[in-house]
Amino acid sequence: MPKRRLLWHLFPSYAATALLAVLGVGWVALRQFEQSHLSAVRDDLRARADFLDGQLGPEIPNDRAPFADFCRRFGPASGIRITLILPTGQVDCDSQNRPEELENQLNRPEIRRALSGEARDAIRYNQALDQRVIYMAVPVLRNDSVFGVFYLSTPLTALDQARSRIEIQILLVGLAIGVCALPLAWWVARDVGRPLDQMRQAADRLAGGQWGTRAAIPDPQEPAALAESFNRMASQLQQRIGILIQHNNEQKAVLTSMAEGVLAVDNQERVISLNEASGKLLGLNLSQARGRRLHEVVRNADLTRFISRALGCQEPIEADVLFDFVANVSHELKTPVTSIKGFVETLLDGAMKDPDAAERFLRIVAKQADRLHAIIEDLLSLSKIEQSEDAADIVLEPNPVRAVLEAAANTCQAGAIERNIAVVLTCDEQLKARINPLLLEQAVVNLLDNAIKYSEPGRDVHVTAGESNGEVTISIVDRGSGIASEHLSRIFERFYRVDRARSRKLGGTGLGLAIVKHIVQAHHGRVTVDSTLGVGSTFTVHLPRA
Binding site for ligand ADP (CB under 6 A): 446, 450-451, 454, 478, 480-481, 483, 491, 496-499, 503, 508-514, 537
CB of 512 to ligand ADP, least distance (A): 3
Mutual angle of helices 512-522 and 355-391, in 10-degree steps: 20
Q: Which pairs count as long-range contacts for 190-194, CB under 8 Å and 24+ apart, including other chains?
A: 190/7, 192/6, 192/220, 192/223, 193/6, 194/218
Residue 371 CA: distances (Å) to CA of 172, 358, 434: 104, 20, 34
- Shorter beta-carbon distance to ligand ADP: residue 223 or 510: 510
- Shorter beta-carbon distance to ligand ADP: residue 148 or 512: 512
- What does the DSSP 8-state code read for residue 351? G
441 touches 408 (CB < 8 A): yes
Helix (H, G, I), strand (E, B) or coil at 85: strand
Q: Which residues contact 89 (CB under 8 A, 6 or more apart)?
A: 104, 105, 106, 107, 111
- Shorter beta-carbon distance to ligand ADP: residue 65 or 501: 501
**Distance in Å from the first CA to the final CA of the chain:** 56
CB of 529 to ligand ADP, least distance (A): 8
CB of 481 to ligand ADP, least distance (A): 5
- Shorter beta-carbon distance to ligand ADP: residue 282 or 491: 491
**Distance (Å, rounded) from C-alpha 298 to C-alpha 321?**
12
CB of 386 to ligand ADP, least distance (A): 16
CB of 325 to ligand ADP, least distance (A): 14
- What does the DSSP 8-state code read for residue 79? T
467 touches 427 (CB < 8 A): no
441 touches 407 (CB < 8 A): yes
26 touches 166 (CB < 8 A): yes
- What does the DSSP 8-state code read for residue 97? S
CB of 444 to ligand ADP, least distance (A): 13
Residue type, 411: T
- Shorter beta-carbon distance to ligand ADP: residue 284 or 516: 516
**Distance (Å, rounded) from C-alpha 400 to C-alpha 397?**
10
Q: Which residues contact 146 (CB under 8 A, 6 or more apart)?
A: 87, 115, 116, 117, 139, 140
CB of 434 to ligand ADP, least distance (A): 25
CB of 376 to ligand ADP, least distance (A): 14
Residue 544 CA: distances (Å) to CA of 60, 428, 528: 133, 17, 14
CB of 459 to ligand ADP, least distance (A): 11
- Shorter beta-carbon distance to ligand ADP: residue 75 or 510: 510
- Shorter beta-carbon distance to ligand ADP: residue 213 or 509: 509
Sheet holding 91-94: strands in order across? 91-94, 81-85, 145-155, 131-142, 120-126
- Shorter beta-carbon distance to ligand ADP: residue 255 or 483: 483
- Shorter beta-carbon distance to ligand ADP: residue 142 or 504: 504
CB of 510 to ligand ADP, least distance (A): 4
Residue type, 441: E
CB of 539 to ligand ADP, least distance (A): 7
